[in-house]
Structure 1
Amino acid sequence: MMNDNPGLKKPRITRQRRIIEHVVGAGFSSAADLATLTNVSLMTIHRDIDDLATRGILRKVHGGVSALPSTVFEASSEIRMQIQPQAKTALARKALEMVEPGMSVMLDDSTTVFALARLLNDVGPLTVITNYRQAIELFRENDDIRLIVTGGQYSRTHDSFIGLPNDGSFSSYAVDVVFQSTSTMGSEMTYHQEQDVVHMKRAMLKAGTRRVLMMDGSKAGRTSLHHYVPVSDFTDLILTDDVSSEFREAVSEHTTLHIAPLHSTHSQTG
């Protein structure tokens, strides 16, 4: 029998973490299934769902709750941290080969690029410019990192600072390399679900002498609601080696292609 007695149920934060992990694994879950999973009432589950949706972690849909990105909505930063960890580590290790001490580096708010950020702490000295809160927390106590924070209004869904479409906060920068990832890509065009993020990424991209796109195989050959930029706008593209040879050949006509081997990745990074 379900019981909402605080003395008997799991703490709320533990329960919500279990809800998140379940929905991430399944992609979708009904409120009834979550109530059974956590052994609490439907009323409690609906409060949890409302809270997680308000925080941008999960998305309420007809009949339940979803963690899946769609062509219109991107998954939250917290959810994306748990997706494709091995691929992100492989991409980060290949991207690290492009960074040398003394460089200026710009990082977007993607969790793929955050895997690289974790490795940069050992590279210094570097100048790092970012709008991603978790990267800011990562670097803020590193004396070898000159940290510059930019962006605009804080987005809870993305856990980052996103400026207005006409935001000129990046126009004064000329950095050695910009690292980005995005939602999906074809052989000639890249895409993202949200227009404000598209504007932010475009502004960041213009600041880089070298412009590097990091993409795992699950993002290749797909589209999202908004065009981002042509693949040719990136000087370099890093793909995991699970992408088909046909796709590799097609994109290599538009940019310099680098392959990140999944099999050599021994540890996982979110």
Structure 2
Amino acid sequence: MSQDKSQRGPLQRRREISDHVLTEGSASAADLAEMFGVSLMTIYRDIDELEREGVLRKFRGGVTAQPSGVFESNVAYRQKSMRAEKEALAAKAVSMVEPGMSVMIDDSTTTLELARLLPRIEPLTVVTNFLQTINLLAEERGIRLMALGGDYDPLHDSFLGVPCVEAVEALRVDLCFVSTSSVLGGFAFHQEQHIVAVKRAMLRAASRNVLMVDHSKLGRTALHRLAPLTAFDLVLIDDRTPPDVLRSLDDSGVRYEVAPT
């Protein structure tokens, strides 16, 4: 017999709140209180704890998994969003990779889709700080996998901080693939300073750099400027990108290609 939601402990309830919000995108505190049969005060305590853990963020009257200009979504939420577009970008990106290359990929869920395709192009050297990519490629015999160390960040499921930056700076790779959370006015942006530091180091460590962004990230901004789009040898976007954004890229002289979904 299933347990009544109101009788479940706080840890289990918070897991279920998190799962619900990651699936729906957001929820009001009142709806959550009714759903779990507890008081609003209890729900707000749960929300405070989930925000402290970096799983979700509060807004007036509720909680959300969606990004803002200063908050990046939890990796579990990002994995569920824009899957078709990310797969299309990955299919386009993998055509640039040749056997024998060294390839660096960041901790984005967009480049994770590229990582799924890399075993078909062996031998390769792959460098990453993303734990999910490390686990994905760890047993691929044709791939020399180099894991970038640092401080583990559960929100991003990756290794960051000064040790990671220093590990990147000791390398030189043929290709680097990164994504970011927003693009506006000829620049790529990200919400978090420690993420920006690692991505910038990756761009400096590569002979060629590719930015992979789906259309939902275009026309939005975030707190920290990562790099001008002209710093990338190629920008990959999907075919749902609005015409005015394409005109802006044309006017700014950014080299881009469109991936069909």
Which bin holds the TM-score, normalised by the shorter protein? 0.7 to 0.9
1:155-194 matches, cutoff 5 A: 155-164=153-162, 167-194=165-192
Confirm or deny that 1:198 pairs with 2:196. Answer: yes
- Aligned equivalent of 2:151, options 142, 150, 153: 153
Change (3 A) 1:206 1:225: same
Q: 1:5 to 1:106 in 2, by over 3 A?
A: same
The residue that corresponds to 1:266 in the other structure is: none
Q: Which residue in the other structure is 2:212 paired with?
A: 214
Pick one of 86, 89, 99 that aligns with 2:87: 89
Q: What fraction of aligned residue pairs are identical, expressed as a percent?
A: 44
TM-score (norm 1): 0.85
Q: Deviations over 1:182-217 (max 9, x none)?
A: 111124211111111111110011111110000111
1:255 equivalent in alignment to 2:254: yes
Distance 1:163 1:126 in 2: 26
Q: Provide closer, same or farther for how the CA distance between residues 143 and 223 of structure 1 changes in structure 2, counting only shifts above 3 A.
A: same
- Does structure 2 retain, via aligned residues, the 8 Å contact 1:23–1:29? yes
SS of residue matched to 1:146: strand
* In the alignment, structure 1 residue 41 sits paired with structure 2 residue 38: yes
Residue 44 of structure 1: CA displacement?
6.0
* Partner-residue secondary structure (3-state), 2:168: coil
Alpha-carbon separation, structure 2, partners of 1:100 and 1:143: 17
- Where in structure 2 are the equivalents of 1:15-94 lying within 5 Å? 15-16=16-17, 18-24=19-25, 28-37=26-35, 39-42=36-39, 45-46=43-44, 48-94=46-92
Question: Does structure 2 retain, via aligned residues, the 8 Å contact 1:90–1:260?
Answer: yes
By how many angstroms is 1:92 displaced? Answer: 0.7
* Per-residue deviation, residues 37-60 of structure 1 (Å, max 9, x unmatched): 3x4323664565345334322113
The 3-state SS of whatever aligns with 1:34 is: helix
For these two proteins, the number of residue pairs brought into alignment is 255
User: Residue 120 of structure 2 corresponds to which residue in structure 1?
Assistant: 122
In structure 2, list runs of 5 or more residues that go unmatched: none
Q: Is the 8 A contact 2:18 2:56 kept in 1?
A: no
3-state SS, counterpart of residue 237 of structure 1: strand
Which AA in structure 1 matches 2:194?
D
Instruction: Answer whether contact 1:165 1:196 (CA < 8 A) is retained.
Output: no
Q: Which amino acid aligns with 1:40?
A: G
- Aligned counterpart, 1:239: 237
